[in-house]
Amino acid sequence: MNGTQPPNSTVTGSIPAYAPRVLYNPEQIPENFVGAVRITSTNGVPLVGEASEEERYGHDPRLISNLPLAGSTDIYLPLWYEQYTAEGGNWASGVNVHNTGSAGNQITVTWYDLNGAIHYTAPIVTLAEHATHTFYNLPNLSDNFIGSAWIHATKPIVAVSNIHNWNTPS
């Protein structure tokens, strides 16, 4: 999460044109690793992908995301729940922001209510190169908040957002 790479954690290989390659729990990645992955092509051919996170031992998937081709300085999350109780659930949102740019990337997140008015702007977070920051369970967002979020950065970032219902077992 701090942008450092675990020792001996690089996975290399080649992929024929238009062919898939699955990386599933590579042995080079240490047990209990929490962080980000960077996938590159040595010959400049664009790559696309999908990542999924799963609870240990094959339980229900927790997160599935398309991997972006490049970062952006603006990311919009159309739906954000902050301990929002409705429809038999207790909903919560979170987002992991990963710096794909160089060190000193300043991240600003602003939340908007359902009327489009600014509800809260978080203090600026400065990320080191390849570092990740999680925005979740924010004390300045009131319980039962529902709205949207805009993430702005001074250099390219990627983000993965997740919405969870705490009233469900998985």
Residue 86 DSSP one-character state:
E
Helix, strand and coil in the chain, % to nearest 5: 0, 45, 55
CB 82 within 8 A of CB 138: yes
Residues 6+ apart with CB under 8 A from 64: 50, 51, 52, 53
pLDDT higher than threshold 90 for residue 123: yes
Residue 45 is predicted with a pLDDT of 73
Least confident of 54-63, 77-86, 142-151: 54-63
Compute CA distances 141 → 6, 38, 95, 114, whole Å. Answer: 35, 32, 14, 14
Q: What is the mean pLDDT of residues 125-150?
A: 91
Q: Encode pLDDT of 75-97 as tens digits.
A: 999 899 998 888 778 889 999 99
Sorting pLDDT into bands at 50, 70 and 90, what band is 55? low
